[in-house]
Structure 1
Amino acid sequence: MPHSQITDVSILIAEDEEALLDSMTEYLELFFEKVYRAKDGQEAYQSYLKHHPDIIIADINMPRLDGLAMIRKIRENDRKTKIIITSAHSDQERLLQAIELHLVKYLIKPVQSDRLKTLLLSLVDELRSQRHTLALKEAFYWDTLNQKLFHDAEEIVLKPRERKVMSLLCSHPNQSVSAIDIYNHLYEDQPERDFSSHAIASLMKRLRQKLPKDTIKSAYGVGYILQTK
């Protein structure tokens, strides 16, 4: 697989056409580790109650419980879950009924994969921003609000200086931060200290051991880059 899967955002696909459900599930699993599927509205609602997905893609017409009825039930207590409706051109009038349901988007079938991918990745960014998290490699992420490092739901314990460096690097993801800037950030309360490249190199080595390989890369003569992609 050319890219790593998204592990911190889950998605539910609800579609009654079995072949389309299979192909949509297969496509979504290219990008998301947690993909739930349902073949009708009732099954989708039960899956929602069990898994609390972050994003739902639902067909407007489904047996047992149609898409709009399912979304109305969800919206009774939940305005946060991102919901996308898919429909045929003939459903345009029914889409007007969905305006008050706070949907992210209405997609007309057949759904273009590139358009869907762009939309989903923008929702992932939005969800992460709302959670105050920065996704790193291999299911690691940085909690920008609490200044903590996690792998899945498990905290990776950092020493005070390691945490301070992570905070600085995470505020400039995929950008070079010079060793001098890191040193000044660490010792901002001790301006009389002399810069030591060895001290920074040693600290960065210890920090790298707590992160996936190549999360922090050295840019020779420039500084260090925290890579999130």
Structure 2
Amino acid sequence: MALINDVSVLIAEDEKELREHVVEYLQLFFETVYTASNGEEAIDVYLKKRPDIIITDINMPELDGLSMIERIRKVDSTTKIVVLSAHSEQEKLFKAIKLNLAEYLTKPVESARLKELLLKLADEIRNRDHILRLGSGYSFNTMSGVLMLHNENIKLTPREVRLLELLCKSANHSVSNEKIFRVLYEEQADKKFSVNAITSLIKRIRTKLPENCISNHYGMGYMIHTET
């Protein structure tokens, strides 16, 4: 498989030999892998590099793994964090649960299990970055072109998908009628510009979206509104 170049990983582990072994394994799948030998160093790398996934041990010098995660969670609730630990004590598990971890794995961890988890997290990160919330439970994935209402897939025509992709690329900003027409009918270069064609498509797609999701800005075009 090709190296994943749009998701980065930080491994925090104080045992040098184990850290190097994990890094070597991670580099089979991820192009960018950062390292830290203790919690303080991990915080420093996190602040400078903002990795998408953090893998950390619990017992480390200077700052332990759970304390390091607590500090990160004060400013960041979304970064995927995986704990690898030789400990399974209830006290540590209960503390970890409150830190919104992606996973808590007890050493030794099988390579296949770690690979499966990390690839799953990478997919979640990619999808998260491409999903726009349209309100009232609606969302649109700009990568897959899928419109969802909660867990239900709403059927779209190819032209409706193209329109939503265009509007979502400029979410909360107007897109001119001319640009909309040009994108929708790019394969028909000789087709004469028609506002009615755009109006008809907008009217149809509005029935599949929450009320007032798409607004008409007179003389400027159309705008899709997303949740912030």
Give the structure-1-normalised TM-score: 0.59
Q: For each residue in 1:2-31, what CA deviation from the matched residue of structure 2 results, as whole angstroms up to 9, or x when unmatched? A: x21111111100011111100000000111
> Per the alignment, do residues 90 and 125 of structure 1 end up closer, same or farther by CA in structure 2, a change over 3 Å counting?
closer
Structure-2 separation of matches of 1:90 and 1:103: 15
What letter corresponds to residue 20 of structure 2 in structure 1? Answer: D
Is 1:46 paired with 2:69? no
Report what 2:108 is aligned to: 110
- How high is the sequence identity, in percent, across the aligned residues? 54
Does the CA-based 8 Å contact 2:88-2:106 persist in structure 1?
A: no
Structure-1 separation of matches of 2:25 and 2:38: 19
Q: For each residue in 1:164-215, what CA deviation from the matched residue of structure 2 results, as whole angstroms up to 9, or x when unmatched? A: 69xxxxxxxxxxxxxxxxxx9844x96xxxxxxxxxxxxxxxxxxxxxxxxx
Structure-2 separation of matches of 1:5 and 1:63: 32
> Per the alignment, do residues 164 and 119 of structure 1 end up closer, same or farther by CA in structure 2, a change over 3 Å counting?
farther
5 Å-filtered alignment, 1:21-170, equals 21-132=19-130, 134=143, 145-146=168-169
Does the CA-based 8 Å contact 1:128-1:134 persist in structure 2?
A: no
What letter corresponds to residue 101 of structure 1 in structure 2? Answer: L
> Per the alignment, do residues 19 and 130 of structure 1 end up closer, same or farther by CA in structure 2, a change over 3 Å counting?
same
RMSD: 2.9
Give the structure-2-normalised TM-score: 0.59
Question: In structure 2, the residue corresponding to 1:13 is in which secondary structure?
Answer: strand
Does the CA-based 8 Å contact 2:8-2:33 persist in structure 1?
A: yes
Q: Which consecutive unaligned segments of at least 5 residues does structure 1 have?
A: 136-143, 148-159, 166-183, 191-229
Q: For each residue in 1:62-97, what CA deviation from the matched residue of structure 2 results, as whole angstroms up to 9, or x when unmatched? A: 110000000000000100100011111444431211
Structure-2 separation of matches of 1:54 and 1:105: 14
Structure-1 separation of matches of 2:57 and 2:87: 12
> Per the alignment, do residues 28 and 134 of structure 1 end up closer, same or farther by CA in structure 2, a change over 3 Å counting?
farther
> Per the alignment, do residues 90 and 27 of structure 1 end up closer, same or farther by CA in structure 2, a change over 3 Å counting?
same
Give 1:100 deviation, angstroms: 1.2
Give 1:104 deviation, angstroms: 0.6
Does the CA-based 8 Å contact 1:15-1:39 persist in structure 2?
A: yes
**Residue correspondences, number:** 150
Structure-1 separation of matches of 2:89 and 2:98: 16
What letter corresponds to residue 122 of structure 1 in structure 2? Answer: K
Report what 1:15 is aligned to: 13
> Per the alignment, do residues 91 and 186 of structure 1 end up closer, same or farther by CA in structure 2, a change over 3 Å counting?
farther
Structure-2 separation of matches of 1:134 and 1:91: 42
Structure-2 separation of matches of 1:123 and 1:134: 17
